[in-house]
Structure 1
Amino acid sequence: MTHRPATPSTAGRPDVIAQAHARSLQVGLRASEIPDFQPLARSMLRGVIERNQSLYTHALPVMETLHAQIVDTQSMVVLTDSNGVILHSLGDSDFIEKANRVALCPGVSWAESDRGTNAIGTALVDGQPTVVHAGEHFLQANHILTCSCAPIVDPFGNTIGALDVSGDTRGFHKHTLALVRMSAQMIENHLFSNQFADAVRIHFHARAEFIGTLFEGLAAFTPDGLFLSANRSALFQLGRPLGGMLRQPFEALFGFGFPALLQQVARAPGEAMTLTLPSGVRVVARGEFNAPRERMATALTKFGERHDVLATSGARPATQAADAITLAALDTGDAQIAAILRRVEKVHGRDIPILVLGKTGTGKEWLARAIHQDSPRRDAPFVAVNCASLPDTLIEAELFGYEDGAFTGAKKRGSAGKIVQADGGTLFLDEIGDMPPAQQVRLMRVLQERTVVPLGGTRAVPVDLRIVCATHRNLRAMIEAGTFREDLYYRINGLVVTLPALAERTDLAALVSRILEQQRDSERIPLRVSAAVLERFARCRWPGNLRQLANVLRTAGIMAEGAAQIDVEHLPDDFLQDCIADAAGVDDGVTASESATVDAPAMQRPTTSAHRMEDWQTTLIEQTLARHRGNISAAARELGLARNTVYRFLRRRDAH
């Protein structure tokens, strides 16, 4: 039997399909077999779902989000248990009929022993994300499918199910597996948080902006400081297998006393700290212990006098590990920024809402943190919420909190929500323009009444907080289009400031020095750049603004480790190519009508030929997708395009 060349998922393991076919033959399957159309009876399927209730509950909202990202692509999202039995599916109506022809529906087993080589069964056997495309399927009936699947593990490392996207072979795209893998990881993180709702939890990552995202490390400990478990990202960062860390003390993994962590969590919940992993890598971390005050006090008392050693234990708040972000620290010599800071200082100590406008990456959160740090609320929490990064199905619970039993799978004793967590301090709502309309109504009520009612609750909880919002969108245009509430707009724009793009600023050299100082990981990474590098920087248009500058400097710093300074040869190649194009007077080629909606890294100007224009557009989309790790919805949102447009460009590219 001939098969297609290995897909990207199997290119590194060329024997995966061959081994799967050998297993299919060993169990007596024949390639010409007709698929079994006898799914489990409804009562039996209900019993299987009940036995996998936790997986089912936490997977459903993630499946809905994933389906929204691939809608209208002739495909469907499938959830199975550990035996490959389909528990639930969501799909395009025109594809479901095709799926039913091959028994791709709830209640049917897609284990290798029943269906031969297929993404679900093979991924469960190998324990690895897998793509099986067209003729790589063992059963000939399944050659109409292209499938991308990732196993789902519970907080203890046991495989409990699989998440799969199956579609028409003509819709194959290499980014699909990345979306499936991220969605499976999201489910695993939800399961982790629910499993260890009563434990001491650490959220950590080497890059502060990844805290609170899908890519953060999660580790759980007993109130005595003994390791319980960690998610995939944490295991990768710690560089150790799960079994090798069980019952290890907190100090052995994060380099300072557990009592210090408890004291920090009790004193300032959610405040960032700088910790050191066994490898010597420094990470930003936030501790969490959702326990009543009495239980927290009991945990601290167990350590006696040791809980007063925060200042000497090696744990430092992240804001003390480097220069604190203050308004004065943001004044690096640019006249536009200085004018903005003067306006903000005039409302110092007054709870006037502030709306920060500006393109993506211009430093809106830096300004929000500085506003908080220079306010009378500086000792209270600063809570940041990125409205664009939370699925619509989760943002309500995250923001407003929920009571115990508010919905299936809710944490024990409920969750306070970000608004209540910010009580007494500052709530920063980033990308407020991406907040769903229903939540805009609830937020409006909170701002008007200064109370919040958790999901499933009846008692209004009073809150005292300052609101700082930010967006790169044109909210007035959204009001005209009916996608943003006018009454909410006038509630959040007490003072409006617009941050300039990096290319418009005159303080580039000072910003480079500040960012290098903040990013410094060791004495071997240079703290300055050469004059030639600054000259290159001055000619770049910096479409990604401060975020792009920080990423370029981080990469260059690693390349220049041990050198006296960062020089041109240490800069990333793609950045240098962009700079060459900029120096030649090349612009991004975006038309006036497009520039109103597209906020994305600009590329070289396309020529007037349609072919060059198409190449430029495809490259732009590829770079945006890479930056968002394959997330089609996030890339489309940043580009100002429909998801189908992004898919169309990618299909056209793959067809060439």
Structure 2
Amino acid sequence: MHRTATPGAHPSAGAALALTTAGVVAQAHARSQSFGLQPHEQADLHLLDRQTLAWTVARNEALCAHARPVMETLAQQLRGTQSMVMLTDAQGVILHAEGDDAFLDRAGRVALQPGAGWSERSKGTNAIGTALALGDAVQINGRQHYLEANQFLTCSCAPILDPQGQILGALDVSGDRRGHSAHTLALVRMSAAMVENHLFGKVYEDAVRLRFHARAEFLCTLMEGLAAFTPQGRFLAANRSAQFQLGLSGPALAAHTFTSLFGLSMGALLEHARRSVPTLLALQLPAGVSVHAQVEFAPRGGVTLPVCPDGPAAAPPPRARPAAAPGLSSLRYLDTGDAQLAQVIERVTRLLGRGVPTMILGETGTGKELLARAIHNDGPRARGPFVAVNCASIPESLIEAELFGYEEGAFTGARRKGSVGKIVQAHGGTLFLDEIGDMPLAMQARLLRVLQERSVAPLGSTRQIEVDVNVVCATHRNLRAMMADGQFRDDLYYRLNGLVVRLPALRERTDLAVIVQRLLRAQHDSPGADSPMPVAPEVMALFAAHPWPGNLRQLSNVLRTSTLLAEGADAITCAHLPEDFLEECEALAQQGRVVAQAFSQPAVPPADGARAAAPAPASVRPLGDVAAHALQQALDAHAGNVSAAARALGVSRNTVYRYLRAQSCRS
């Protein structure tokens, strides 16, 4: 069994750290015995009834909404391993489960499914119950389970904490004990941290948020510290990594201010935040450790700081007009020279403020939310709220409460004073319904009624609340085909598609050079520098030839990694590209699917605002030749040392050996 520290998370967590594996299990077994359980007992198959489970899920709506996407990713990573991923509440009741169908059937025989309680009191020693009892991550294998009925399992579980350090629930992976792996617990811990960080950003979305770490490449990863402050500098909360880096627990941090922790005035921090493209800050922790930091502050109606490029958005969006340049058009900022995109922007601009709903079509990662925010920022509702709802990420059981809100006492466990729905939150502004094609049919009917009557009734209420919202929708699905199959309502479709625009995929655009420059500038972290690091011509050739299935999001991630690897270099070269990207290029070249252009002009794109002209190719070479040239350069630079060349290029040694074998065959 492997365990992890959870600073300040639970009163007993610190004491538990000193225990051996045997001691932890022995104490858990002693607790199980004290509850009157017997090892040979049959499994308790009792489940919450359907209504009570729905209430329990609704009571944990925020936890479920932020955990579901993480669970789906974790389930994909574990596909084919005879296991399942589960989310529980703070009492150990399973709220949601995903996993291999074959194992779900076996798990059901011991009530390892939604509605079942897995506290130690009901199931004895098990990963869920023991993790919640300890406030710490644990792995329980085979006979370490107290009940014999559960000893065919191996289970890894980590608690999920709210920003104040209180347990909200737990994330668990359970499978057949024959597939036991110590790595599973690491995956669960990382996934739980991801949920905690998502919740942190949601709870403190209107606060001044600081991301920091001693190493810049760890910003926007699970290793970064997150801290939230009021605009006046008062400390609000910090995640586990921040507490560890600062060397202070949550209660101890409550006595501090931003200035006492980081040695910089709040005024200076906010002034840095107002820059159109802020650079990284260099701050110092109380212990004298220097850290790199990025500030985010998005007060309603104010400026917004850039988000990490590997987050949900494709790239840092201009969410609102910067205070220093009130005349800047967000839509025109997006016009980087591609004729297709220019036509989209022109059509959208003509209908700004006309009350016409807009539907944005396009592949994942093409920047649909980016365009939606630009429409909001350039329209007459710019001072109102922009509320985004991802219909694909909200569980079907929660989407009604999320959209329409509910009254106090609407159901057992409902929040005191109820909850304001997203539609009401968007009053006076823009409601962005992303992935509208994933909205359940029942909700489609209710949404249509709201849009027609311009009023909404929260769950459990008879009163109608008038709402005035401009609706922008987006989807990557074929809604007409869904209508033909009865999966999308015709009347809602025709209510939403006043103006339909399609964002081109990155491989279809002609403004790649400008996009690369914009993304590099947004990621640029060298204070005082005039321009971001240039890109070598052969790298631009690879970019121009690549099909970019992930579109802007994928390009942004490749550039961010390359920029970090190229620190200290004169330009981003093939040696700085991520290994998986180079291997993808090599595979495409071997399939003969793409051709790369080596440009004659320097790889410095036109200045911002200039329209990108189509690059004039000096020569056209197969993509394999471009990659081969980079490999040969690396081998020459390292005197034929394959390992050194592979490290310099960021590829595997097998890739270099394949190239050498191919060269040998040609000769």
Q: TM-score range by the shorter chain?
A: 0.5 to 0.7
Cα deviation per residue 1:349-401 (whole Å; 9 max; x = unaligned)? Answer: 31111111111011111211222222222232222222222222333233223
- Partner residue of 2:580 out of 566, 574, 579: 574
Match of 2:22 in 1: 21
1:157 aligns with 2:165: yes
User: CA 1:504/1:402 → structure 2, altered by over 3 Å: closer, same or farther?
Assistant: same
Q: Which of 339, 351, 362 is 2:366 aligned to?
A: 362
C-alpha separation between the residues in 2 aligned to 1:565 and 1:68? 39
Give the residue type in structure 1 aligned to 2:562.
A
Matching residue's letter, 2:588: D
Work out the CA distance in 2 between the residues paired with 1:514 and 1:35.
Answer: 63
Cα distance change on mapping 1:152 and 1:346 into 2, 3 Å: closer
Q: CA separation in 1, counterparts of 2:189 and 2:137?
A: 9
Rate the CA distance shift 1:90–1:573 in 2: closer, same or farther, 3 A.
closer
Note the alpha carbon deviations across 1:6-33, whole angstroms, 9 max, x for none: 89999xxxx999932245458997x9x9
**Per the alignment, do residues 369 and 55 of structure 1 end up closer, same or farther by CA in structure 2, a change over 3 Å counting?**
closer
Q: Deviation per CA, 1:137-167, whole angstroms, max 9, x where unpaired?
A: 5876643112121124455435576554544
Q: Specify whether residues 569 and 78 from structure 1 end up closer, same or farther in structure 2 by C-alpha distance, changes over 3 A only.
A: closer
Match of 2:297 in 1: 285
Q: How far does residue 584 in structure 1 lie from its aligned partner after superposition?
A: 3.8
Q: Matches of 1:273 and 1:408 in 2, distance apart?
A: 46
Which residue in 1 is equivalent to 2:507? Answer: 503
Does the alignment pair 1:242 with 2:250? yes
**How far is the alpha carbon of 1:474 from its aligned partner?**
0.8
Matched position secondary structure for 2:480: helix
Asked whether the equivalents of residues 282 and 293 of structure 2 are also in contact (C-alpha less than 8 Å), the reply is yes
CA–CA distance in 2 between the matches of 1:97 and 1:484?
A: 37
Asked if 1 retains the 8 angstrom alpha-carbon contact of 2:562 and 2:577, the reply is yes
Out of 107, 121, 134, the position equivalent to 1:95 is: 107
- Measured at CA, do residues 438 and 77 of structure 1 come closer, stay the same or move farther in structure 2, by a change above 3 Å? same
Match of 1:544 among 539, 546, 550: 550
The 1:328–1:156 alpha-carbon spacing in structure 2 relative to 1, beyond 3 Å, is closer
Q: CA deviation at 1:247?
A: 2.5
Q: Please give the secondary structure, in 2, of the residue aligned with 1:406.
A: coil
- In structure 2, the CA distance between the partners of 1:163 and 1:336, relative to structure 1 (3 Å rule), is closer
Amino acid at match of 1:320: P
Q: Which residue of structure 2 lines up, in the alignment, with residue 132 of structure 1?
A: 140
1:327 aligns with 2:331: yes
Distance 2:70 2:349 in 1: 46
Where does residue 414 of structure 1 map in the other structure? 418
- Which segments of 5 or more consecutive residues in structure 2 lack a partner in the other structure? 6-15, 98-103, 213-220, 284-290, 302-317, 595-622, 624-667
Change (3 A) 1:550 1:25: closer
Residue 555 (structure 2) pairs with residue 555 (structure 1): no
In the alignment, which residue of structure 2 is the partner of 1:529?
Answer: 535
Q: Map of 1:108-257 to 2, 5 A cutoff?
A: 109=121, 115=125, 118-120=126-128, 123=131, 127-134=135-142, 142-153=150-161, 155-158=163-166, 162-169=170-177, 178=187, 182=191, 186=195, 201=207, 226-232=234-240, 241-250=249-258, 252=260, 257=266
Superposed CA offset, 1:562-601 (max 9, x none): 333322211111111112223344459xxxxxxxxxxxxx
The equivalent residue for 1:386 is 390
Which of 445, 448, 461 is the matching residue for 1:444? 448
- Give CA-to-partner distance per residue, 1:534-581, whole Å, 9 cap, x none: 111111111111111111111111222233332221111111111222
Deviations 1:300-333 (A, max 9, x none): xxxxxxxxxxxxxxxx987539996622222211
The TM-score, its normalising length taken from structure 2, stands at: 0.63
Equivalent AA in structure 2 for residue 109 of structure 1: R
Q: Aligned equivalents of 2:196 and 2:413: distance in 1?
A: 12
Letter in 2 for 1:19: T
Cα contact 1:119–1:147 (8 A) shared by 2? yes
Residue pair 1:220, 1:228 contacting (<8 A) in 2 also: yes
Contact between 1:76 and 1:95, CA under 8 Å: does it hold in 2? no
Equivalences for 1:262-411 in 2 at 5 Å? 278=283, 279-287=291-299, 319-320=321-322, 326-411=330-415
Q: C-alpha separation between the residues in 1 aligned to 2:483 and 2:474? A: 16
- Is contact 2:454-2:468 (8 Å) kept? yes
| Local SS of the residue matching 1:516 | helix
Cross-structure match for 2:215:
none
Q: For residue 522 of structure 2, what is the aligned residue in structure 1?
A: 518
Once structures 1 and 2 are overlaid, which stretch shifts more, 492-501 or 157-166? 157-166
Residues 443 and 136 of structure 1: CA distance in aligned 2, closer, same or farther (over 3 Å): same
Q: Shift of the alpha carbon at 1:230?
A: 3.6
Within 5 Å, which residues of 2 pair with 1:30-41?
A: 35=39, 37=41
Distance 2:295 2:407 in 1: 33
Q: Is the 8 A contact 2:59 2:414 kept in 1?
A: no
Aligned to 1:632: none
Q: Deviations over 1:26-75 (max 9, x none)?
A: 8997x9x96163999x9xx9xxx9xxx99994289739969996799776
Q: Distance in 1 between matches of 2:487 and 2:223?
A: 30
CA contact (8 A) 2:160 2:167 kept: yes
Q: TM-score of the superposition, structure 1-length normalised?
A: 0.64
| CA contact 1:58–1:190 (8 Å) conserved in 2 | no
State the Cα distance separating 1:503 from its structure 2 match: 0.8
Name 1:454's counterpart in structure 2: 458
Is residue 521–residue 532 contact of structure 2 (8 Å, CA) maintained in 1?
A: no
- Which residue number corresponds to residue 613 of structure 1? none
Choose which of 449, 463, 470 in structure 1 pairs with 2:467. 463
Give yes or no for contact 1:78–1:165 (8 Å, CA) kept in 2.
no
Q: Secondary structure at the match of 1:359?
A: coil
Determine helix, strand or coil for the equivalent of 2:519.
helix
Call closer, same or farther: CA 1:95–1:536 in 2, change over 3 Å: closer
Deviations 1:205-226 (A, max 9, x none): 69xxxxxx99999866689863
State the superposition RMSD in angstroms.
Answer: 5.3
Aligned partner letter, 2:523: Q
SS at match of 1:281: strand
SS in 2 for 1:327: helix
User: Bigger shift: 562-571 or 168-177?
Assistant: 168-177
**Percent identity between the two aligned chains:** 46
Bigger CA drift: 517-526 or 383-392?
Answer: 517-526
CA deviations 1:185-235 (Å, max 9, x no partner) are 7589779989x9xx98556769xxxxxx99999866689863243444765
2:64 partner amino acid = V
Are the aligned partners of 1:381 and 1:425 in contact in 2 as well (CA < 8 Å)? Answer: yes
1:152–1:533: structure 2 CA closer, same or farther, 3 Å change rule? Answer: closer
Task: Report how many residues are paired.
Answer: 519
State the alpha-carbon separation in 1 of the partners of residues 573 and 323 from structure 2. Answer: 27
Whole-angstrom distance in 1 between the partners of 2:265 and 2:403: 32
Query: Match of 2:121, SS?
Result: coil
Cα distance, 1:500 vs. partner? 1.3
Distance 1:277 1:422, change over 3 A: farther
Q: d(CA) in 2 for partners of 1:508 and 1:189?
A: 31
CA distance in 1 between counterparts of 2:576 and 2:247 reads: 27
Retained in 2: the 8 A contact 1:204–1:286? no
